[in-house]
Amino acid sequence: MHRFARIRLRKDHRAATAIEFALVCAPFTIFLLSIMGAGLHYYVQQALEYATQAAVRQVQLGQIAPNYTEADFVNKVLCPAFGQFQSCTNLYVDLRPVTDYEQVTNSPTDAPNSTSTTGFVFCPGTPGQLMYAHVIYLLPSIAGTLLGNTAGGGAIIANAAFANENPTGVAVVQANGC
């Protein structure tokens, strides 16, 4: 009888498919979520690069009001170009005149890869000035969004260096605080 029980157990494959599915399902789900996360990160990076270039162009041509604050600039200029799927409350802008572009990479808070949002300045400058824009978007994590927490997604960074122009007919006025 003992011999027949072993033979019966060897031939019983009813739960094999469920066990194989359980072993494959978790890694496959993690793989799919990581691909979706990488795609989202790439999309947001490209959207931020585009929005930064569009916003900087308006500063470059002197088309923003001289009394704009960083919040006005983010809400009225940068956010409309950034896209509909992102929250603009996580956007930070450091816009300042520089004497040369080497100055940008020597300061720890102004370095092109810095994610620190402290010490930011908003100054659109005057005609002919060299300018540097450092824009940071704090991306919420996918898991945090699903769980109701918006922290931990990392920072997306876009930078632009340009010289202010003074096209004919466009009056450029130095903003307060510059």
Q: Quote the CA–CA distance of 117 and 109 in Å, as a whole number.
A: 8
Domain-embedded: residue 42: no
Range of lowest pLDDT (18-27, 58-67, 74-83, 134-143): 134-143
Q: How confident is the model at residue 175 (pLDDT cuts 50, 70, 90)?
A: very low
DSSP E strands in 67-154: the ranges are 91-98, 130-138
In a domain, 100, yes or no: yes
Question: Per the domain annotation, does 92 fall within a domain?
Answer: yes
Q: Give pLDDT, residue 46.
A: 92
Assigned domain for 12 exists: no
User: In whole angstroms, what is the distance from residue 37 CA to residue 42 CA?
Assistant: 9
Q: What is the pLDDT of residue 147?
A: 45
Q: If you average pLDDT over each of 40-54, 92-106, 155-169, which comes out highest? A: 40-54
119 within some domain: yes
Domain span at residue 83 reads: 47-163
Question: 91 and 135 in contact (C-beta within 8 Å)?
Answer: yes
The total number of structural domains that make up the chain: 1
